[in-house]
Amino acid sequence: MPEVGNDPCAERSSSPCARTQAYWAAKHADDIVTIARESRAFATAVATAAKAAQFDRATEAAAKMGARCNACHDLHPEKR
């Protein structure tokens, strides 16, 4: 298993993605928390695939992560 230490969205509690997830969890925005958690999983998948030189898989995971960006923005959690 390659190391993914450089990934800003890796499963570290201090990462920006982890803090995003915790922020919305504190506001009990469960749908937003789900999207944030999925985004982290795809970000980790991109890094893992890229480090294993599996570029097709990295591209696929990046596209899925990008779809989560729009999914979250379309719900406008900042206006709640």
Residues forming the site for ligand HEC (CB under 6 A) = 20, 32, 35-36, 39, 65, 68-69, 72-73, 77-78
For the CB of residue 65, give the shortest distance to ligand HEC in the complex, in Å: 6
**Orientation of helix 16-26 relative to helix 30-51, angle to 10°:** 170
Q: Work out the number of other CB atoms within 10 angstroms of the CB of residue 24.
A: 20
Q: Which is nearer to ligand HEC, 1 or 68 (CB)?
A: 68
Q: Which is nearer to ligand HEC, 1 or 61 (CB)?
A: 61
In eight-state DSSP terms, residue 59 is H
For the CB of residue 73, give the shortest distance to ligand HEC in the complex, in Å: 6
The secondary structure element, H or E, covering residue 29 is none
